[in-house]
Amino acid sequence: MSRQQKRIQRESEIVAATLLLLEEKSFLDLRMSDVAQAAECSMGAIYSHFSSKEDLLLGCAYFLTRQKIQVLHRILDADLVSLEKMVMISLCMWQINQDRPEHFALSQLAMNPSVWQRASSNRSNAMNELGDYIDSQLKTLVRQALSENGFEKVSDQSVAELMMGLWGLSSGLYQIKESGFGVFNADFREDDGVDLHLANIQRYLAGWNLDSAVSRARLSQLAEAVSNYTTLEAGA
């Protein structure tokens, strides 16, 4: 194994150790010394890979984002029409967050501008590249969905509006569910908000005259198939 390969492996081990620690405590309570102990390496080794706690946070977010890209690729390759793929991505991201809420909290924290300012430029650039890749893949999919459903002139603005609206709806609803309001709200307690999520997707698609392309019954079928796509591999 080359020196570079060993460095990549050690960095992956540090990230993996951090994610295990986060099953028991929040990132805000985590100390770099805790990470060093869990990863069985020195503090010097930790700081040779991650310049700060914020840099480590962004490194963990990078790892989790690459895992989500695995799911994205599975959906893009699936035997579904483009609009169904759009919905499936939204449903799968909801389920991934539901399965590992501590990872959701970490990813939300990692999006704070102050984290990016304190992280290394290499780390923030790498995250930007992943973001640009996901954005490109999603916009291509949305453009296909609109074309397949009778939209003759598909502008960049309409693509951005449909894409950001759908995922903003899903992400926003999930954040409400995870908040103190969600804990005490009956709409979320019974089934973790899944029915409410599906109903909101249906109403949103209706606003674009796309609800006939994906009926409520079909939405339920897609929701039942989520587990076929969300199994994450350890080495992203």
Q: Does domain 1-49 correspond to CATH entry 3.30.70.20?
A: no
**What pLDDT shows up at residue 152?**
87
Identify whether the C-beta of residue 81 lies closer than 8 Å to the C-beta of residue 219.
no
Three-state SS for 79-99 is CCCHHHHHHHHHHHHHHHHHH
Which residue ranges make up each domain of the chain?
A: 1-49, 53-228
**What pLDDT shows up at residue 231?**
80
The reply to whether 1-49 and 53-228 are identical in fold is: no
Class for the domain spanning 53-228 = mainly alpha
Q: Which among 152, 153, 166 is positioned nearest to 211, based on CA atoms?
A: 166
Identify whether the C-beta of residue 22 lies closer than 8 Å to the C-beta of residue 106.
yes
CB atoms within 10 A of CB 40: 10
**What pLDDT shows up at residue 57?**
95
**What pLDDT shows up at residue 177?**
82
> What are the angstrom distances between the C-alpha of 228 and each of 7, 153, 176, 197?
34, 34, 26, 19
Report mean pLDDT in 10-residue bins for the chain, 236 residues. 85 94 88 93 93 94 95 97 97 92 90 93 95 97 96 94 94 84 65 86 95 93 95 58
**What pLDDT shows up at residue 233?**
57
**Token pair in block for residue 172:** 């926003």
Q: Does pTM surpass 0.85?
A: yes
